Chain A
Amino acid sequence: MLTDQSLIELFLKYVARSYPRIFELTLQHLTISAIALCITLTVCIPTGIFLTRREKLAPYVIGVANVFQTIPSLALLGFLIFFFGIGNDNAICALFLYSMLPVLQNTYTGIKNVPQHLVQAAKGMGMTDFQILWTVQLPLARPVILAGIRVATVWIIGTATLASAIGGGGLGKLIFSGLASIRYEIILAGAIPATLLALAADQGFKTFQAHYSPERRAQRMAKAALKHKAVKP
């Protein structure tokens, strides 16, 4: 068994030697995840909004997303080889199917949970359906929708390590080759950047959400107004 001391030494040595490769794989990992996330958002947010207007469909559509969610991710990847062959396309598709549920579900629930009296009041003031969606429902549902996106992102980044099992790229390559050759330092060289990516994405969304919270927004507007007054009293 390796001692901790020598593992750290080995890890550092490995990183020093092959950091260009780690960097390249990190970029690949990021690209796969980003593409998958973009597809998820462009498909699921509009679908979620659509479902709030066709509520009878909601249980079925969300049910389908739920089914994909329950399939073990490795099995899903293997199954998709049947349709996409091996490589990144397959991985991206699997990641998309896998991350649909939180975004879809949260967009739907987030908008549904906007108090009905606010929607009625907005309508009574003469807003069009689109104006109600854009200026009332989406801003109020944003914290819930963002929470769904955060969950989806962390899942995608984590699960993207499996992509290399079906011939895709990304940090999973290091993990799998480390496992195959029982070299812990290589496993770490893949696992640590993947974890950091997930944590960074999570934190990024949190910061975004806090920055655009109504409280912070109101404070900024008050400051801007004060400046405006100071410039031309």
Chain B
Amino acid sequence: MKENQPDHREKRKDEGMVVFSNVSKVYGDGTKAVDELDLVINKGELVSLIGPSGCGKTTTLKMVNRLEDCTYGKIYLGGKDITSMDPVKLRRGIGYVVQEIALMPHMSVAENIAMVPKLHRWSRKRMRDRVEELLAMSGLEPSKFSYRLPDQLSGGQKQRIGVLRALAAEPEVVLMDEPFGALDPISRDVLQNELLSIQQKLHKTIIFVTHDMDEALKISDRIVIMRDGKIEQIGTPTDIQENPRTNFVRNFIGEDRLSQISPDDSVSILIEDPWDRVTPDTNAREVLEKMENADIESIQVIDKNDRWIGMALLRDVKRVARVQGRIREAATRKRKLYIEEATMRDAAEMLADKPFSIPVIDKDDIFIGVITEAGVARLTIGRLKRPAGGGVRNVD
């Protein structure tokens, strides 16, 4: 490494997957949409850009794939200055999901997903295999959905395809511009969870624009709060909630976010992704060992397509392990909540009855997450803590 690099910013280009170095966007009439933005987004990180409308978050996003060009400053993608790349090639290497979903209405689902691979001139077979793999991954039966037209899908299914289309050519970086903003609350929730589980498998670098703080808090590794083209605060969701740096951030997070929750709200904000999950054909003895080592009472049995097979309790795992069985035989399906209808009251009642975590699934048996006693306790603590920060509200 050179010791005396004249410009410290030159060094920074290799620090992250996407690096904004002193980036400004000024329009012809002099309005500054983005004002001297410095931001390093690491590989495999999901970063949300959030702020009121007109804060420059979408412009920032569009500068990455050069749908907008920056007026001053540089953006580096994987260490390369994006203005040195052919915009068409640059865009083919970046996944892009938009709020309007923008599936091509005259193309089948399969053709829509294969749009970017087709631009890369993949072989037919490779495209077909990739489409089937992606559809299966998000729980849509390929033979059933491949040849449907977008108009024959529900809103949630459409945006699921929109996300798959962005992932199809295996880009490193994915840009998402309020992708779930136009969906109903239930679909939005399901898709957020799917995005999280996809992200756990694929570790893409995702820049996610949203105006919904709940969404940002739920899905992001880091949140960038923007105002008037400038960064107001960057931090992890916990950071930002616990230490809002300015009044603007405090107000934007919403002082009474937590106190507004009612017992009849959806369980979705309680859902966590469990680390204790196994595939149905795992040997029960193996699972027993794992459970005893980790000292857990129950485990979720989920197949590779995220379909929930059931939940296995320690005593049943012991019984099946004695006869050398597979974990599938120990799974029961009695304890569960459906994401579409379960309220927090249901969850609390079930936990009060038996302390094991509760699996949450959707109507198609797709596993979404678990609700644990600890999660409920954390939420309660969050509510109790609130009033302490309430005094500084609306100072500005």
Contact = CB atoms under 8 A, between A and B. Distances in A.
Interface of A: 115, 117-118, 120-128, 131, 136, 139-140, 214-215, 217-219, 221-222, 225
Given A126-B88, A218-B149, 16 more contacts: A124-B67, A124-B98, A125-B91, A125-B115, A126-B90, A126-B92, A126-B94, A139-B106, A140-B105, A140-B106, A214-B105, A214-B106, A215-B149, A217-B108, A221-B147, A225-B147
B157 interface: no
A121 B98 contact: yes
B67 A118 contact: no
B379 interface: no
Contacts of A120: 67, 98, 102
B9 interface: no
A128 B105 contact: no
Residue of A121, A131, A221, A222 contacting most chain B CB atoms (<10 Å): A121
Contacts of B165: 125
Interface residues on B, range: 20 to 34
Interface of B: 65, 67, 88-94, 96, 98, 100, 102, 104-108, 110, 115-116, 119, 146-149, 165, 175
Contact of A222 (B94, B116, B146, B175): B146
Contacts of B107: 214
Contacts of B147: 218-219, 221-222, 225
Contacts of A221: 108, 110, 147
Contact of B65 (A117, A124, A225): A124
B119 A117 contact: no
Given A120-B67, A125-B92, A128-B88, A225 B98 contact: no
A34 to B, nearest CB: 29
Contacts of A219: 147
A122 B100 CA distance: 12
Smallest CB-CB A-B distances: 10 pairs: A126-B92, A126-B91, A121-B102, A222-B147, A117-B100, A124-B96, A214-B106, A218-B108, A139-B106, A117-B102
Contact of B96 (A121, A131, A225): A121
Contacts of A131: 119
Given A117-B100, A118-B104, A121-B102, A126 B146 contact: no
A210 to B, nearest CB: 14
